[in-house]
Structure 1
Amino acid sequence: MNSSITDPQLQNWENFCRHHAIGDWHGTWSIYDLEGKLIRHFQCVRSFQVSADGNEVNHQNHYTYPDGTTKTETFGPHKKPIIKSLHFNDSFSWGSTEVKPETMFFFETGFKHGSQRRSAVARYNTDASLDIVIISEQLKSFAQEFSSLPINQLINWKGIVTEITPDWIISSAAETSWVQLEELAKDYLTLHLNDNVSISIPKQIDSNKELFLATEWLVNPTLLLRGIRYFDTFGFRNFTLEVFNRQL
């Protein structure tokens, strides 16, 4: 084994294979404008196949658009333990690690719960436009529709937070307090979108400022997951997962 490969990197690969590279994720990809209005949507199957020895993952995306046209994209194959995304506790996040002037900047952060996944993608384009995509997925088949739950920001949530760094080091879990998404940064773009997914992100990216990119999924009335990518002026610093449970 390559001496530069670390145990945390191997654990990241194992988390990827255990929680996400587990078959075909049938999803609806919904594109929103900056007011939170649905612009368009299409279907996609993200297909992951792990080799018998667990050392390779083949990944394809099969898109089907409303006009009936289709497209397939192939990624990889991913070879153990090289994977761009960070994986732990059923969550994942990946994307740009530096903020560079006149360069496209993007991220995807998602969560798995049982046979379902939710993720948010934001892409800051070189023309200063911003694309927002919410991906709602489940294994085996497409859902007819996903439930929509109201979130009561006043109820008592008890939370724990865990951190993972770019070199795959995972911290111990610690208690954290509930703060409304809107209160994390009042000048950010905060949207509560379909399928119980919300985001809070900068309206534009500045390489000279610290920033964060927050995504949350209200899984059910008593469970909320929040993932945040943090950047300092040098680049990507860490990804945190906050798990909040409602106290009944």
Structure 2
Amino acid sequence: MNSQWNALLKNLGEWQGSFTRLSPQGELLGDTKSVVSLEGLNNNQTIRQTIGLDENEKVLEYSSLGKGVLFFENGAFSQGSIQLAPFSEFGAEFGFIHGSRRLRVVQLFDKNLKLDSFTLIREHLAQTQSSQNPVLTVDALLGEWVGEAVTIYPDLQKPDSYSTQMHLQLNNGKLTQSLSFANRTITSTATLKDSILLFEQNQVQVLLLPDGASVTSPFQAQLRQPLFLEVGWLINPYLRQRMIRSYNDKGEWVSLTLVTERKG
């Protein structure tokens, strides 16, 4: 069994929770109770996945992984579009796992490549206590975060690992973010509007969500320009994970990065 399949197996079990659909501005569009079961068959060589949403149930069985999905060793993953193309829907799912809890977020763009909707999925293993973090706030993110990043690639070339440092400070209603990684430092400024951070210089928004989640998206995906989608999870006040799915200027999915960072 390869390492990708072994990482998938970290997600085995019955996950109970909810699928919450949100507009790009974070408005509630719908909320559905969910039970998602991943069961290993044939000595874990086949996965049976049962997805129950209210009264509807769908069963999938598979023995290999699709081209659009990658897993990290701890079971975290992302699956989605491998190509940004005109007149086609575009999007991705990001999944984090920590103990008996999972947090997943789906970002979707319409056929004009405009940000369309999000789905926030909060889950816990059956027979475990259901617990959730508060809605994420800017105050919870302020300060110095030091982390380690791992980047993996669709062609399964050797992963890259490097240190990261992020500093967030708030001055007169403006958030300044300084991010250092791989001998580069990027500084950007955002305006806080309700539960949204607007980075106007690169036309990107960060939506702050329940359970310590955040989702970073362009307002409009642009052809012939590189782009990234990101989801974060504040697992506890001093531990955060972020996952970044990157596309090049040809619209090709080129890498997936998981950052695990701790507050200094």
User: TM-score band, normalised by the shorter chain?
Assistant: 0.7 to 0.9
Between 173-182 and 40-49, report the one with greater CA deviation.
173-182
Shift of 1:73: 1.5
SS class of match (1:16)? helix
CA pair 57-119 structure 1, distance change in 2 beyond 3 A? same
Shift of 1:176: 0.8
In the alignment, is residue 42 of structure 1 matched against residue 32 of structure 2?
Answer: yes
Q: CA deviation at 1:81?
A: 5.8
Q: Does 1:14 align with 2:6?
A: yes
- Aligned partners of 1:192 and 1:177: how far apart in 2? 21
Deviation at 1:144, TM superposition (A): 5.8
The yes-or-no answer on 1:214 pairing with 2:200 is no
Note the C-alpha offset of 1:42. 0.6
Moved more, 173-182 or 35-44: 173-182
2:226 paired with 1:240 = no
The offset of 1:78, in angstroms, is: 1.3
Return the structure number with greater strand share: 2
Q: Does the C-alpha gap of structure 1 residues 182 and 201 become closer, same or farther in structure 2, counting only changes over 3 Å? A: farther
Alignment of 1:1-248 (within 5 A): 10-17=2-9, 19-20=10-11, 22-64=12-54, 70-75=55-60, 77-80=61-64, 84-88=68-72, 89-126=74-111, 128=114, 130-140=116-126, 146-148=132-134, 150=137, 151-178=139-166, 183=177, 186=200, 187-234=203-250, 235-247=252-264
TM-score normalized by structure 1? 0.85
Number of aligned residues: 231
Consecutive unaligned residues of structure 1, counting only runs of 5 or more, are 1-6, 65-69
* Per-residue deviation, 1:123: 1.0
TM-align CA RMSD: 2.3
Contact 1:33 1:131 in 2 (8 A): yes
- Between 129-138 and 142-151, report the one with greater CA deviation: 142-151
